[in-house]
Amino acid sequence: MLFSNMSPNALTTTLTAFGSIAALISVSGKYRPTFDANSPAEMRLADLYDEAQIALKCDKRAFRARAPKSIVINARNSELRRLAEILTYKADIYTPKGRLYAFDAKFSVRDGKLFHGQTELDPSKLTDGHGRLITSDY
Q: What is the pLDDT of residue 125?
A: 83
Q: What is the 3-state secondary structure (H, E, C) of 15-59?
A: HCCCCCHHHHHCCCCCCCCEEECCCHHHHHHHHHHHHHHHHCCCC
Q: What is the pLDDT of residue 17?
A: 84
d(CA 135, CA 79): 9
Average pLDDT over residues 13-35: 89
DSSP SS3 for 7: coil
When pLDDT is cut at 50, 70 and 90, the band that residue 1 belongs to is very low
Q: For the segment 55-100, what is each residue's pLDDT rounded down to a tens digit?
A: 999 999 998 887 665 655 666 778 888 888 888 777 778 888 888 8
pTM listed for this prediction: 0.50
Q: What is the pLDDT of residue 23?
A: 94
When pLDDT is cut at 50, 70 and 90, the band that residue 3 belongs to is low
